[in-house]
Amino acid sequence: MTFKTSLDNHSVEYREITEHDILQFKKIGEIYSDEMDKIKISSCDIENGSPKAGDTIATDARDNSNQWLVSGKNYNSIKA
C-alpha cells in the first residue's frame, strides 16, 4: 500500500480506502493491511456506514502495524 504523509503531521500517513478494503469488511467484518495488521474501526464509524468511499486509512509512520480508519468527514476537516 502507498501512504501519503499528512502535511500537518509527519508522524501520520494516510491512504484512501479501496474497494478491496470495503469488500473485505463486508465479507469478514474486518479490514487487514497487506502485512496482515488489523485496521481499527470505531463502532461509531461503523454505525455511520464506514468503511465507505471517501474514508481513509491512517498509519503511524513510526509503527506501520498501528492503522485505523478515518471517516471521510473527519479526514476532510483535518485537511482544511
pLDDT in tens, 15-60: 999 999 999 999 999 999 888 999 999 999 999 999 999 999 999 9
> Is the preceding omega at residue 51 within 30 degrees of 0, hence cis?
yes
> 78 CB contacts (<8 Å, ≥6 apart)?
6, 8, 70
What is the domain count for the chain?
Answer: 1
Say if residue 1's pLDDT is above 70: no
Q: Which position has the higher pLDDT, 80 or 44?
A: 44
What is the span of the domain harbouring residue 43?
A: 4-79
pTM of the model: 0.78
pLDDT band at 3; cut points 50, 70, 90: very low
Give ∠ CA 6-10-11 in degrees, rounded to 5: 110
